[in-house]
Amino acid sequence: MREHVGDQQGAETLYRQAADAGDRNALPNLARIREQAGDQEGAEALARQAADAGETLLTVERWWPYGLDRDGSPTPPWSADSSP
């Protein structure tokens, strides 16, 4: 509700509390708020935390559309002419 009424800082505080309490859904929301605030590096770090915590579908598709490699680096796009 805080976010919907324009209280971004209040929303971020509550999302952080929820994340600290183990709510995996809070991390992608924190990442989104950080991105909207212009903090791309902080947003990506939070998105990576979300992915590490198992929040895969929305987080990975949003931040890394080709997924993450085992070492944690973003998977590059597949090319049409690459073959195994």
Note whether residue 48 is domain-resident.
yes
Does residue 84 fall inside a structural domain?
no
Say whether pLDDT at 15 is over 70. Answer: yes
The predicted model gives 59-84 an average pLDDT of 72
Q: What is the number of domains present in the chain? A: 1
Task: Tally Cβ neighbours within 10 Å of residue 76.
Answer: 9
The reply to whether 79 falls in a domain is: no
Residue 15: which domain range?
8-63
Within a domain: residue 34? yes
Quick check: is 1 in a domain?
Answer: no
Assigned domain for 80 exists: no
pTM above 0.85, yes or no: no
- Rounded Cα gap, residues 68 and 30, in angstroms: 20
In a domain, 71, yes or no: no
